[in-house]
Chain A
Amino acid sequence: MSNISFVREKEIPQSPPPITESNAIRWVRQNLFSGWLNSLLTILSVYFIYVCLRDFIPWAYGGIWTANSIRECLDINPDVACFSVIGARWRQLLFGFYPTEEYWRPILTFVLLFISIAPVLIPRFARFFWFSLIYPGIAVWLLWGGSIWPVFSIYLAISLTGLVFFLAKNKFKLSSGFSFTAAILFFFLYFIFIAGPFIALFKYILPINLVLIESLQFGGFLLSMIVGFSGIAASFPIGILLALGRQSDLPLVKMICVGFIEFIRGVPLITLLFVASVLLNYFLPPGTSFDIIIRVIIMVTIFSAAYMAEVIRGGLAALPVGQHEASAALGLSYWQSQRLIIMPQALKISIPGIVNTFIGLFKDTTLVSIISLLDPVGLASLIRADQKWNGIYWELYVAIGLMFFICCFGMSQYSQYLERKLKTDNS
């Protein structure tokens, strides 16, 4: 009996995979050429990319940065981009007509913006929320200049009003309705009687001044950012109130809120901006007239408040009903439960939606060029009207598009990161 059966005792050592199945080639086969349709698509895409880049890269890469006018560019080399317009006018595109020696103020405001947003978005720094609250005042003072005391006086008014409310409620044991009314009365009385003398007095004792900048001097990206950020920041509390009002059981309040939200969402932003530039002066008492930028910020705030209300409503709807019931079972009043339980969770859920609304608003700030405000697109027309740069087209728009793309893409990536983080947090 010979041993014809073979019993393997040891495993064969693993051999490397065949070349068509390993690493790069395998990946290419699976992803790019896995079927005749896929292969066709791959070849078409590669050809398409090649055609796009073949003309664009030499044009952009060989760009002339140092010429002084478009004639010079054309003399040097008519086939490449004339980026000198960016080189000559980048300050105008970024800051508008802001005086050069005061550039540190917008830059400082921008840096402080990030510092003030941190407590809102990163829980670790929530202790510094007070800085986020005083940041709007600092920003207004830094950007527009003038004396620091009017801004300080407004903050004083708000804190004193809060103090009056607190005292009326706790010390004098008035109901919340009456203490609220007392606080509002105090607020108005403060402005009628105390504010003026207070500001005059402090201006005399301790003058802290910055150079006053007129609103017409704002332009370029500075203007877009101011309109965008103040629109979003101011629309936040209004949006919360509108969302709560829309959800409330009181039919009258609900009707007013729904009517307002649907009206604002139904009309294009350009008509609201037209109202700002043309009609808003009619709605104010005769003789008053605001800056055009203030009017634009008011209308943009109203516009984004309606969209913000919808986003927050979605966040409120995503909250389990059990939260409302649990807070009622604990005996919390409506405003207490909103403040302590509902709103923090709803806002956390809606943060990605809020960031998306902000990205949309930031892109929509380009519309102010249609009412002759000098945002980057408006500045592009102004630069082209200059004799030196008459006829330039692509370079300016490519630069502006690139700037917007960087900002908006960064923000959308951040919002996606937030979304991912929140998904793991909550569930």
Chain B
Amino acid sequence: MSSVKLPVEKFRLGMLLGDTRYRSTTVQVIAFIIFVSVVFWLVDNTVKNLALLGKDVDFSYLWMRAGYDINQRLIPYTNDSTHGRAALVGILNTLLVAFIGCIIATIIGVFVGILRLSKNWIVAKLMSVYIEGFRNIPILLWIVMIFALLTEFTPAPRAFKGADPEASMIFFQSTAVTNRGAYFPSPVWGDGSVYLILIFILSLAAMFLFRRYAKNLQEETGKNLPKFWISLAIFFIPSILFYFILGGPVSLEYPYLKGFNFKDGIYVRNSFIALTLALSLYTSAFIGEIVRSGILAISKGQTEAASSLGLRPSRIMNLIILPQALRVIVPPMISNYLNLTKNSSLAIAVGYMDVRGTLGGITLNQTGRELESMLLLMGFYLCVSLCVSAIINYFNRSFQIKGL
């Protein structure tokens, strides 16, 4: 039996687009060529323009002396340090604002979201006014307004002077709130404070271990220990006990007025407070909405079944509603945290030196290296965005329902 020979269609040029076997490759090759040509054209233009201006692409300016001072820094920095170090100071400032802002925003946001659903009409309306007000006004305006609020309604350091000062420190003469910033007493670590810190860390570990033990006990025997009060006791009692046993190793250093400003103490500048507060309040409005929609997404049957089992409302919220709601809430939270980090680049409006203020601002101006600085700046934000979404996506996967 001779095998049947199937007719082989001869290759025609039109088959490149008409025949689906070749079309996808054709389209991809064409797209690739267009893409490469556009990139080539852009790069070529840039090179030509830079050559005309006599500039070159050179990152060595990062190792040159910066020459300017930065008011808020987490690492040691003087005006003799390099531009690279100034950029690092800016990066740390950005991360600090983003981190603290996210935490405060989440706390306020969850609070607002849950209150928005309360049966109390006034509270619900108040929360919705809050949410709508913050969501519909641009963040730049909020940053500037809150900074103005802080600057106008606080006294100048000079008002604290004299025998009969207009303003005085609060919290038993320990904290000063001025129109430059707030001064808090800072802890001074004396001898033996290392042991105190060790005891504190141990008590934290003990707390976690106890909670795990109590949970296992409940699942095996059904006995319900008062977890909250015992954890609180573990948290406070050993540390306080050892504080007195060791003879009070940690003391406070109080800020005092000398010359133009206060000295000593922890100095939290107004720009930082205004920026963090504005970012947190703004993002908390969005988080409130997300939390609310997450809780509403849980069908009412869950609440009814839980209450028919005899659970109190607080336990229903903690044990039944919130764990399920988290699955719906977490993905939009990622984009809100990223938005907060990106919105922190508006810090220059209040004079806070974040990475856009140092690398993308003063360094860019003093050295004239726009292309290099912008590339580094965008690279930094890109890294942070990708890292944060990767981390949260990883945690997100761990509590999705498998197989759904």
User: Closest CB-CB distance, A277 to chain B, in whole Å?
Assistant: 10
Q: Once the chains bind, are B356 and A271 in contact (CB under 8 Å)?
A: yes
Q: Once the chains bind, are B28 and A279 in contact (CB under 8 Å)?
A: no
B 27-47 to A, binary, CB cutoff 8 A, 1 in contact else 0:
110011001000000100110
User: Closest CB-CB distance, B244 to chain A, in whole Å?
Assistant: 36
Q: Once the chains bind, are B136 and A409 in contact (CB under 8 Å)?
A: yes
* B342 on the A face (CB < 8 A): yes
Give the chain A neighbours of B346 by CB distance below 8 A. 270, 367, 370
Q: Once the chains bind, are B49 and A281 in contact (CB under 8 Å)?
A: yes
| Segment of B1-9, B116-124, B175-183, B209-217 engaged in the interface with chain A | B116-124
Residue in contact with B126 in the complex, picked from A49, A177, A369, CB distance below 8 Å: A49
Of the A-B pairs whose beta carbons lie under 8 Å apart in the complex, a sample of 27, sorted by A's number, is A31-B119, A31-B120, A41-B120, A42-B120, A42-B123, A45-B122, A266-B381, A267-B381, A267-B385, A268-B342, A271-B356, A271-B360, A271-B374, A278-B374, A283-B42, A285-B45, A285-B48, A363-B138, A366-B141, A377-B140, A397-B144, A397-B148, A400-B141, A401-B145, A405-B136, A408-B136, A409-B132
Give the chain B neighbours of A45 by CB distance below 8 A. 120, 122-123, 126
Q: Once the chains bind, are B120 and A38 in contact (CB under 8 Å)?
A: yes
Q: Once the chains bind, are A282 and B148 in contact (CB under 8 Å)?
A: no
Q: Once the chains bind, are B52 and A286 in contact (CB under 8 Å)?
A: yes
Given contacts A31-B120, A271-B377, contact A286 B48 (CB under 8 A): yes
Top 10 nearest A-B pairs by Cβ distance?
Answer: A177-B17, A266-B385, A268-B342, A408-B136, A363-B138, A266-B382, A31-B121, A366-B138, A252-B28, A268-B345
Given contacts A285-B45, A363-B139, A397-B144, contact A268 B343 (CB under 8 A): yes
Q: Once the chains bind, are B137 and A46 in contact (CB under 8 Å)?
A: no
* B114 on the A face (CB < 8 A): no
Q: How far is the CA of A31 from the CA of B125 in the complex (A)?
A: 12
Chain A, interface residues (CB within 8 Å), range = 35 or more
Q: Once the chains bind, are B137 and A252 in contact (CB under 8 Å)?
A: no
Known: A45-B123, A286-B52, A404-B141. 15 other contacts (CB 8 A): A41-B120, A177-B18, A268-B342, A270-B356, A274-B374, A282-B49, A283-B46, A285-B48, A363-B136, A363-B138, A366-B141, A377-B140, A401-B145, A405-B136, A412-B136
Binding site for B on A (CB under 8 A): 30-32, 34, 38, 41-42, 45-46, 48-49, 175-178, 249-253, 256, 262-263, 265-271, 274-275, 278-279, 281-286, 359, 363-364, 366-367, 369-370, 377, 393-394, 397, 400-401, 404-405, 408-409, 412
Q: Once the chains bind, are A367 and B140 in contact (CB under 8 Å)?
A: yes
Give the chain B neighbours of A412 by CB distance below 8 A. 132, 135-136
Give the chain A neighbours of B141 by CB distance below 8 A. 366, 377, 397, 400-401, 404
Given contacts A45-B122, A178-B17, A274-B360, contact A268 B374 (CB under 8 A): no
Residue in contact with B17 in the complex, picked from A41, A175, A274, A359, CB distance below 8 Å: A175
Would you call the interface of chain B mostly helix, strand, loop, or mixed?
helix
Given contacts A42-B123, A253-B27, A281-B49, contact A366 B140 (CB under 8 A): yes
Residue in contact with B27 in the complex, picked from A38, A250, A256, CB distance below 8 Å: A250
Nearest neighbor of B27 in chain A, beta-carbon distance: A250
Give the chain B neighbours of A404 by CB distance below 8 A. 136-138, 141
Q: Which residues in window 259-302 of B have CB below 8 A to A? A: none
Give the chain A neighbours of B362 by CB distance below 8 A. none
Give the chain B neighbours of A393 by CB distance below 8 A. 148, 152
Q: How far is the CA of A350 from the CA of B148 in the complex (A)?
A: 39
User: Closest CB-CB distance, A296 to chain B, in whole Å?
Assistant: 15
User: Closest CB-CB distance, A385 to chain B, in whole Å?
Assistant: 15
Q: Once the chains bind, are A405 and B133 in contact (CB under 8 Å)?
A: yes
User: Closest CB-CB distance, A295 to chain B, in whole Å?
Assistant: 14
Nearest neighbor of A397 in chain B, beta-carbon distance: B145
Q: How far is the CA of A394 from the CA of B147 in the complex (A)?
A: 12
User: Closest CB-CB distance, B317 to chain A, in whole Å?
Assistant: 14
User: Closest CB-CB distance, A394 to chain B, in whole Å?
Assistant: 7
Q: Once the chains bind, are B349 and A370 in contact (CB under 8 Å)?
A: yes
User: Closest CB-CB distance, B73 to chain A, in whole Å?
Assistant: 22
Give the chain A neighbours of B348 by CB distance below 8 A. 370
Nearest neighbor of B46 in chain A, beta-carbon distance: A282
* B206 on the A face (CB < 8 A): no
Q: How far is the CA of A135 from the CA of B133 in the complex (A)?
A: 33
Give the chain B neighbours of A49 by CB distance below 8 A. 126
User: Closest CB-CB distance, A41 to chain B, in whole Å?
Assistant: 5
Q: How far is the CA of A366 from the CA of B343 in the complex (A)?
A: 12
* B386 on the A face (CB < 8 A): yes
Q: How far is the CA of A95 from the CA of B308 in the complex (A)?
A: 62
Q: Once the chains bind, are B28 and A253 in contact (CB under 8 Å)?
A: yes
Q: Which of B28, B46, B50, B360 has the most CB of A within 10 A?
A: B28
User: Closest CB-CB distance, A70 to chain B, in whole Å?
Assistant: 15
Q: Which of B28, B32, B137 has the most CB of A within 10 A?
A: B137
User: Closest CB-CB distance, B78 to chain A, in whole Å?
Assistant: 28
Give the chain B neighbours of A177 by CB distance below 8 A. 16-18, 26
Give the chain B neighbours of A251 by CB distance below 8 A. 28
Q: How far is the CA of A42 from the CA of B356 in the complex (A)?
A: 44
* B14 on the A face (CB < 8 A): yes
Nearest neighbor of B140 in chain A, beta-carbon distance: A366
Give the chain B neighbours of A281 by CB distance below 8 A. 49
Give the chain B neighbours of A270 by CB distance below 8 A. 345-346, 356
Nearest neighbor of A408 in chain B, beta-carbon distance: B136
Q: Once the chains bind, are A252 and B32 in contact (CB under 8 Å)?
A: yes
Give the chain B neighbours of A409 by CB distance below 8 A. 132, 136
